[in-house]
Structure 1
């Protein structure tokens, strides 16, 4: 698979030592969001692999949607990004988290 050279690094090393490249990100235009894909987008932006504005455009996300993903991922990890778990985490945290 050939990847065009874009802005930013091609590969980054995550805090857990795993390397992540743009090939590890979901395809542009993804509409079915599972926890693993949401986590990949959040990790890609937070590690500097892709700027936030590019992620918002590439995946047609709002800033609020991305911020909710980032917050739930930082609080609860990938489990917090599962839609079936949102209500449970909201009740436990005592507020709106999505």
Structure 2
């Protein structure tokens, strides 16, 4: 089996006890964002599987948008990443 050479780690351990790999992230160029995909990107950045810069480039996100996701997830949990929950958690 051939593994592509990457700059960062292939997998990381999450604080909840699970593991996360690059395969758990949404595909590059994702345009439709549901809460689960946002949460995966936030977990990837927090656990240092990927850098903020990589996530912003791969998913065409602004720094403000990514920081907002990270802040809402940290403050209120992954449920706050739902679009319908914006008014409730602001």
Where 1:70 maps in the other structure, the secondary structure is: helix
Moved more, 3-12 or 78-87: 3-12
Aligned equivalents of 2:32, 2:77: Cα separation in 1: 19
Which stretches in structure 1 are left out of the alignment for 5+ residues?
91-98
- Cα distance in 1 for residues equivalent to 2:5 and 2:14: 20
Partner of 2:52: 52
CA 1:75–1:3 in structure 2 vs 1: closer, same or farther (change >3 Å)? farther
Aligned-pair RMSD on alpha carbons? 1.1
Is residue 2:86 matched to residue 1:86?
A: yes
Q: TM-score, normalised by structure 1?
A: 0.87
- C-alpha change, 1:76 and 1:61, in structure 2 (3 Å) is same
CA distance in structure 2 between the partners assigned to 1:6 and 1:34 by the alignment? 27
Task: For structure 2, list consecutive stretches of 5 or more residues without a partner in the other structure.
Answer: none
TM-score norm. by structure 2 comes to 0.94
Task: State the shift of 1:59 in Å.
Answer: 0.2
CA deviation string 1:14-33 (max 9, x = no partner): 00010000000000000000
How many residue pairs were aligned? 89
Match of 1:20, SS state, is strand
Which 4+ residue blocks in structure 1 deviate beyond 3 angstroms? Answer: none
